[in-house]
A = this chain, B = another copy of it.
Amino acid sequence: MNTIETIMKRRSIRSFTDQPISDEDIRTILKAGMAGPTCVNARDWAFIVITDKELLEKTADANGRPAQCLKQAAMGILVCGDMERAFSRAKDYSVVDTSIACENMILAAHELGIGSVWLGTWPQMDRVERQKELFQLPETIVPHSLIAFGYPSDPSELESGKPDRPEFEEDRVHYNHW
């Protein structure tokens, strides 16, 4: 599928089959995450790949009610910012860099026939703290986003696009002045 088609068709998938994701596909998804631009090429992210069933449940609970669908997913990836690597003069660029990595991963997954849903963590600091505690993370590693991945129960969702969303909102765009 070409890139623009994937971008336009991607939607959140919250119901998954039991099919596991192959190691090769996991690696492709991670490579896509690492291929995004980062501020001053800091590559200031870290990825925790979760496939253990019990741990998926704990990770879902640490992220709050909207993350419950992770319990049925084949895989979760907790994407974190690495403050030791982040641009020293403006470390919050790490939030941008990890967001880019996440978007690349969900687009790559879609291409592989794998659905996903992005479960927000940062800036909800109660979630950030619970994930830090669950994974016993070093002080410099900040949980940013949790993504659930799996083969969709209804594969047509990968083709149907986003329901009830305008493709283009004219009033969001300004030309050469506000």
Contacts and interface: CB of A to CB of B under 8 A. Distances in A.
Contacts of A47: 172-174
A58 to B, nearest CB: 11
Contact of A96 (B39, B49, B95, B168): B95
A12 B35 CA distance: 11
Closest 5 CB pairs of A and B: A99-B99, A92-B123, A3-B111, A3-B6, A103-B103
Contacts of A177: 48, 55, 135
Given A12-B37, A35-B167, A99-B103, A2 B2 contact: yes
A22 interface: no
A152 B128 CA distance: 41
Interface string A44-84: 01111111100100000000000000000000000000000
15 contacts: A3-B3, A3-B111, A7-B35, A7-B108, A12-B37, A34-B169, A46-B174, A92-B122, A92-B123, A93-B123, A95-B96, A95-B123, A99-B99, A99-B103, A138-B178
A16 interface: no
Interface in A11-39: 12, 27-28, 30-32, 34-37, 39
Interface string A155-178: 000000010011111001111111
